[in-house]
Amino acid sequence: MTINVKGLNTAGSAKIKQLKGLKKAVSPSEELNNDLPLSGEYLPKIEEVSEIDIDVMPPQEDEFICSECFLVKHKSQLGEVIDNASVCKECL
């Protein structure tokens, strides 16, 4: 198998010239539209704020709070009690 080095150089230099003619890459910070105001004027307005009523229940006898993930879990999910701190099975 023979390789024509002159042909490769010509093709390579043609591609280099083609690449040099392309537009210079723009950094992401240059792409930002600096014409937008920095205040919240262009953000959508919230017309109505609804209140949510939530009844908070005291801890149940069959529940515990995991000292690692701080989620309320059922006693069946209790993994270990380490230094008076309950840890669930998922956090072990």
Res 1: pLDDT:
43
Domain of residue 66, residue span: 61-92
Q: Has residue 92 been placed in a domain?
A: yes
Q: Using DSSP, state whether 8 is helix, strand or coil.
A: helix
Q: Has residue 72 been placed in a domain?
A: yes
Q: Using DSSP, state whether 38 is helix, strand or coil.
A: coil
**How many domains does the chain fold into?**
1
Res 50: pLDDT:
80
Element (H, E) at 87: strand 85-88
Q: In angstroms, rounded to a whole number, what is the distance separating the alpha carbons of residues 31 and 23?
A: 14
Chain centroid to Cα 44, Å, comes to: 23
pTM flag (> 0.85): no
Confidence of residue 73 (pLDDT cuts 50, 70, 90): very high
Q: Is the CB of residue 66 less than 8 Å from the CB of residue 88?
A: yes
